[in-house]
Structure 1
């Protein structure tokens, strides 16, 4: 499979953010892709991205002011976590990871991933990434993760929240919900999907939501300010349960190429209070991904 022309490459020269992120800031959602010559993409995949190496990711973080990151395995690499593990082991402990694994993954493989810095695995329930992750696999694997101190990351289309909310509420480990549950910002703050998302966050303090993905949820395009009311509402309502990440290199984008510096600047509106920004970018991700550092 070759890269489809309908998918855009990442921004070649993002701006230097006007917003200075706090010391120790964490990009809690980003990816590495390939290089395919070294880390081939999965044969069964719904898209083929451009190469986005660990070196390019580190250079981006230096440019934006982020000291740490959480690298999330993307579906284009399937359950081969080699590129992810390589990025973690090369980071000197500054990167943590979220893997994708098979339902019957062996304990030895989970231990290997844990030693490399993986702290959970991701389950996709979104149309553009192909078939849903099996609910049975989510339930089975989550029961095994408690001993490792892992959590699960769940990515779903907003219409799935009605089906998944009771499942998420009963999971035996912490849960991270990607990209604001893909709630539609155009539907305002009283929509049923957002109410269900907030209900999950209110019921369990170990459920987290990433207020990332503005470029995916926006109807208006750059600078994506139509998503600010939704993201700010979540940050202000659940200040200790929110995370944020660039989502670099922004796979599957078809309409516009996000400028990561511009996305960082948007945080000035999403979390305008410095105390909230500190929690969003430092305190919360450190508590979840580096608890050993206090």
Structure 2
């Protein structure tokens, strides 16, 4: 069973000096492909320099920024492995990560856990990440987990399953991993397993970016629901999306006073407030997209 690693990159910046060597140190890998998705910060030159001594590693370049789904599909076309390991450019995996992911992907796919590398102790979103457990429990390693836990910053997919699912949906700007999860779940209901590994994620960002991402994901959900019935339930928002009360709240702006006061709140209250703001942003994106659909 051959293993290929695919890493999409868009303006990876200084993080590449940390992440590329860690990815090259993975054992059990037959080839590595970084896909530069139209970077403008010199990422391509940095990667070429860092992979020069490894003949099985290479960089391919997109002519323009096409999005993560398109970049990953390009990486799939450029590789030959039976199992495709997907990592993000801001992830540092342990040396045995590819072996664990490939071994766990005995159904259709596997996923690892993420340990956010927090850089701003005062940012409310990073406070939330430090206190709110996300992802499947490590005790479930080796067992099937719900498809909503598929995250393509650290996962593996068997090539036949990926091809049958149609690859990554390039029309989804944010949430392409969830779109893939929907397609795979329809064919392999219990086919996602948790691998026994954890990676460090350095591109965590702050609250403003997290809220924008939540809104973008919400805006993608109506189209995903049309393509993949049950997508809302798979995402865990089925009841909230159909609640009249929550729909009315989502159509109103989030309380500005709450965002302004966040940093002054006790950490336990900050966590609950950030969870509310993220949920509000997701539902606002969802209902905004629904309302604009003819």
Length-normalised TM-score, structure 1: 0.27
Larger Rg: 2
Give the structure with the higher percent helix: 2
If the length of structure 2 is used for normalisation, what is the TM-score? 0.27
Greater relative contact order structure (CA < 8 Å, 6+ sep): 1
